[in-house]
Amino acid sequence: MDNKKIAELKRTANEIRKESIIITHRAQSGHPGGSLSEADILAALYFYKLRVNAKKPDWGDRDRFVLSKGHASPGYYAALAMKGFFSKKELESFRKINSMLQGHPELKIPGVDFAGGSLGQGVCFANGLAIAGKLDKKNYKVYVLIGDGEAQEGVVWEASMSAAFYKLDNLVYILDKNQVQQTGLTKDVMDIGNAAEKWRAFGFNVIEINGHNMEDILNALDRSDNKNGKPTMIIANTIKGKGVSFMELNHKFHGKAPNDEEFKRAMEELNKKI
């Protein structure tokens, strides 16, 4: 892997983190924790892997990306703006009345393939996209990002069973296993147990990685291109709040925006990382 490209993607991930903090601080609302944990994955998807065209967001052959953990919209919107789907200026309207950038993603936003907000639902929706791709003999791939807390929703398992049953090898689930959910550590709220074993038992190719190691992420995404009649699950071990020390593994920042003081400290930390 090209070291320069990896360094660039890391910088991009850091920019997504900074924007996530700026957006939520400005709105005094939104979900910073999960945006920070998904930042490296989003950078890898949008600036390395996904075949998308910001000038033609509805291009029929594009790869699809489903943010099933729709509350992590700050990081997602930042990635879409940086990719050029809409202007960065638009980020200022996040969560404001009459804005395009609603609290949770909406289909009318350029580049958005799924309107999330209610957990678990993007997973079965992604299955539908993948089945349609097979029916139409299209080459696009479908990626869906799932939270580990989200995996407590039963429909995630209904969908997983179905994805294997329909041999959706054009479908890649990515688990942002950031260990934390709204009210505490996932292992304390409702432990999802051994995720790798579970999805393997459900009939998936399972790849387990450090979700903050860019090289790992890129390798896993490339490996998921191997078609063997099975869907793939990339288990990305991550840290909720990654990159801002006082937000890391702190459930208080699941759905709480930083105040002015916290904003200053967070930006100082993130600025040092470039």
Partner 1 sequence: MAGIAKEQKGKAATRDGYGKGLILAGIKNKNVVALDADLSDSTRSEWFKEKFPDRFFSMGIAEQNMIGTAAGLSVSGKIPYASSFAIFSERAFELIRNIVSRNNLNVKIAGSHAGLATGEDGKSAQAIEDIAIYRSLPNMTVIQPADAVEAEKAVVALLDYNGPSYMRLLRNPLPIIHDNNYKFNIGKGEILRKGKDAVIFATGTMVHESLEAAEMLKEEKINTYVVNIHTIKPIDEKLIISLAKKTNCVITAEDHNIIGGLGGAVAEVLGENYPCLMKRIGLEDRYGESGKPAELYEKYGLSANKVAEKVKKFVKGK
What are the residues binding partner 1 (CB under 8 A)? Answer: 106-107, 113, 115, 117-118, 120-121, 123-133, 135-136, 154-155, 158-159, 161-162, 165-166
Nearest approach in angstroms of CB 242 to partner 1 is 28
Query: What are the residues facing 10 on neighbouring strands?
Result: none
Nearest approach in angstroms of CB 147 to partner 1 is 16
Evaluated on CA atoms 113, 172, 47, 235, the torsion sign reads positive
Largest CA distance in the chain: 53
Nearest approach in angstroms of CB 80 to partner 1 is 17
| 83 exposure class (CB count in 10 Å sphere: 0-12, 13-18, 19+) | buried
By beta-carbon proximity to partner 1, the closer residue of 162 and 213 is: 162
Q: What is the DSSP-derived secondary structure letter of residue 152?
A: G
Nearest approach in angstroms of CB 162 to partner 1 is 5
By beta-carbon proximity to partner 1, the closer residue of 199 and 263 is: 199
By beta-carbon proximity to partner 1, the closer residue of 123 and 220 is: 123
By beta-carbon proximity to partner 1, the closer residue of 62 and 242 is: 62
Nearest approach in angstroms of CB 100 to partner 1 is 15
Rg (CA), the chain: 17
- Strand-pair category, 232-237 with 205-210: parallel
Strand positions, DSSP E, the chain:
64-67, 142-147, 171-177, 180-181, 184-185, 205-210, 232-237
Nearest approach in angstroms of CB 130 to partner 1 is 8
By beta-carbon proximity to partner 1, the closer residue of 80 and 217 is: 80
By beta-carbon proximity to partner 1, the closer residue of 139 and 259 is: 139
Which residues, 6 or more positions from 137, have their beta carbon under 8 angstroms from its beta carbon?
Answer: none
Q: What is the DSSP-derived secondary structure letter of residue 47?
A: I
